[in-house]
Amino acid sequence: MTGNLAFDTYKLSEDHDAIRAAVREIATERIAPYAADVDEQARYPQEAHDALVASDFFAPHVPEEYGGVGADALATCIVIEEVARADASASLIPAVNKLGSMPLILAASEEVKQKYLPPLARGEVAFSYGLSEREAGSDTAAMKCRARQDGDDWVLNGHKAWITNAGISEYYTVLAVTDPEGRRGSNVTAFVVEKSDPGFGFGEKERKLGIKGSPTRELHFDNCRIPGDRVVGDIGDGLKIALRTLDHTRITIGAQAVGIAQGALDAAAAYVKERKQFGKAIAEFQGIQFMLADMAMELEAARQLVYVAAAKSERMDADLAFFGAAAKCFASDVAMKVTTDAVQLLGGAGYVKDFPVERMMRDAKITQIYEGTNQVQRIVMARQLLKG
């Protein structure tokens, strides 16, 4: 491949196949039946939450030494993919638990890991991630949230925006500027903030196009005082930790996109075999067959890229940044196309809420936006290529 990027393959083991079968059964029986109501009521998918906790798929990525099942990156992607096939909102539960806690896994002291990872592994708490702000989305280094040291404590002031599962999660990894006069990008520090900390609160739930079952809110810090032992990694390394985190977790968004697309393809294929026009099932028309073939082909290409990126995440390969960005970007673009085509294949039925594909199309859109827009992913990929 161009530059020094290397395409290293992966291998699905019997354990991976068993995980897929187990999650698919749970998703089919305990998540999918509630997905339409979750979307319609814009309510948290508590049924999915409970099912994932009971089956150890709530935060499968947590290492065994912290009480987790220690699922590798590929297994975690399979979990997210299979849940997203039934309900994208529910798939954000394991995905965001990984996003919120990955900075700790990558950079926190052993004391911080021992305090916060075991309750997450047990399903007693959820973990969210506070990086973006209204005026600092793609330009994360422009953040205004501040943390100043006061004795042994830190005091946070400011806000974070677009925070997934805000209000549900008990713990939050929050990035804040700790040296306003310091060099841009090297003056940010990561902290763990707890829901009960004084001065910490939430904005109203955002009214969204899709993933309505996953609450999105602002985080508000008004002289929020936290103990000094809540620092994740070294002071000033927060942005580096945040970007390393995204290299790993963008892949989970790729997995989510693959799952959404698979759910839409399954629904469309089932529909066209039953729908009759001009005296026969519309699946017999070549135009329909070509659409289905293209949907399946592009979906499988996206799945393969996500799995390769997941294997690279597990190995901490040097070219992970490229493959993580590529997997997220390509899979989310495919999900948007596949779900839009699924709506088209169902015709008028695809445009109403009696069928799930209109929800899937709305849900797919966010995968092109969060954890870095697909325009940003292309910047990441280009930079990696030009380093070569």
Residue 121 binned pLDDT confidence (cut-offs 50, 70, 90) = very high
Looking at the predicted structure, is the pLDDT value of residue 322 above 50?
Answer: yes
Q: How many CB atoms lie within 10 A of CB 41?
A: 11
Q: Residues 274-294: pLDDT tens digits?
A: 999 999 999 999 999 999 999
- For the full predicted model, state whether its pTM sits above 0.85: yes
3-state per-residue secondary structure call for the chain? CCCCCCCCCCCCCHHHHHHHHHHHHHHHHHHHHHHHHHHHHCCCCHHHHHHHHHCCCCCCCCCHHHCCCCCCHHHHHHHHHHHHHHCHHHHHHHHHHHHHHHHHHHHCCHHHHHHHHHHHHCCCCCEEEECCECCECCCHHHCCCEEEEECCEEEEEEEEEEEECCCCCCEEEEEEECCCCCCCCCCEEEEEEECCCCCEEECCCCCCCCCCCCCEEEEEEEEEEEEHHHEECCCCEHHHHHHHHHHHHHHHHHHHHHHHHHHHHHHHHHHHHHCEECCEEHHHCHHHHHHHHHHHHHHHHHHHHHHHHHHHHHHCCCCHHHHHHHHHHHHHHHHHHHHHHHHHHHHHHHHCCCCCHHHHHHHHHHCCCCCCCHHHHHHHHHHHHHHC
Q: Residues 153-174: pLDDT tens digits?
A: 999 999 999 999 999 999 999 9
Q: Residues 6-63: pLDDT tens digits?
A: 766 799 999 999 999 999 999 999 999 999 999 999 999 999 999 999 999 999 999 9
Helices 46-54 & 88-107 angle (0-180, nearest 10): 50
What is the mean pLDDT of the segment spanning 307-324? 97
Looking at the predicted structure, is the pLDDT value of residue 2 above 50?
Answer: no
What the block records as the tokens of 316 is 């901490």
pLDDT of residue 1: 42
Instruction: Exactly one of 82, 133, 358, 371 is catalytic; name it.
Output: 371
Looking at the predicted structure, is the pLDDT value of residue 5 above 80?
Answer: no
Looking at the predicted structure, is the pLDDT value of residue 268 above 60?
Answer: yes
- Is residue 273 within 8 Å of 283, Cβ to Cβ? yes
Q: Using CA atoms, how far apart are residues 268 and 73, in angstroms rounded to an integer?
A: 30
pLDDT of residue 9: 79
Length of the chain: 388
Q: Residues 199-250: pLDDT tens digits?
A: 999 999 999 999 999 999 999 999 999 999 999 999 999 999 999 999 999 9
Q: Clarify whether 371 is annotated catalytic.
A: yes
Q: Using CA atoms, how far apart are residues 233 and 240, in angstroms rounded to an integer?
A: 10
- Is residue 366 within 8 Å of 257, Cβ to Cβ? no
Residue 4 binned pLDDT confidence (cut-offs 50, 70, 90) = low
Q: Residues 53-109: pLDDT tens digits?
A: 999 999 999 999 999 999 999 999 999 999 999 999 999 999 999 999 999 999 999
